[in-house]
Structure 1
């Protein structure tokens, strides 16, 4: 089975092309960023994107958490556990859910409801990309969950 598998270099090249310059989200992103950079170095490619760290966000937004492990934060936020921890797909799904929760928490704390109701639909209709407003760059995307 492994003899017929594509090489690591080929797979990493395909993954890198697929991801492009979209930001990557990870819980404890410094670990994932180190791995990502090392693999890209092997195929002589430079990283094109930044990472978003749900653990760093949670430390700022949920200082009352007893720790900032993914499982603890999922329980604190009342989010579903989608599988066993430290398994790629389950961790990715839970990190995505936690990041959306943290994003919504930011919106609520800083009274950005007006933005969500009036301005966000304009950005969302523009499709994925980035819009410059003065010195501010706003990233748009088609999917946005609200509580």
Structure 2
């Protein structure tokens, strides 16, 4: 079974279908069973849920009223296009962190990157024009239409 379901990706993992440019990130629900459901609405009004399974790390900053989506990217079997965001979600050490802790953190980032590049994990990134930026490292992702 594919790690990315019900989505068509373009170059670099950019989400092409369904497209959400100028749509909205409407909700974030995280469950104790390491799943998350991200509510999305297209500019044309259709609503979707992006289900994320086996969530390892999730970061959502600046959730506001009217979170406008610029772009969505899902990396699985490829290197993430935004390595700064990937390193941030994968455990980027603060500059004050010293050895041996820094070395362990860098090794964990490298392992997380291998997991994405080799297809064992998915890196999901929602870039915002306004409001919430979201990044998630998870096992798989599935898009489900929920209507208008």
Q: Give the TM-score of the pair, scaled to structure 1.
A: 0.24
- Larger gyration radius, structure 1 or structure 2: 1
Q: Give the TM-score of the pair, scaled to structure 2.
A: 0.24
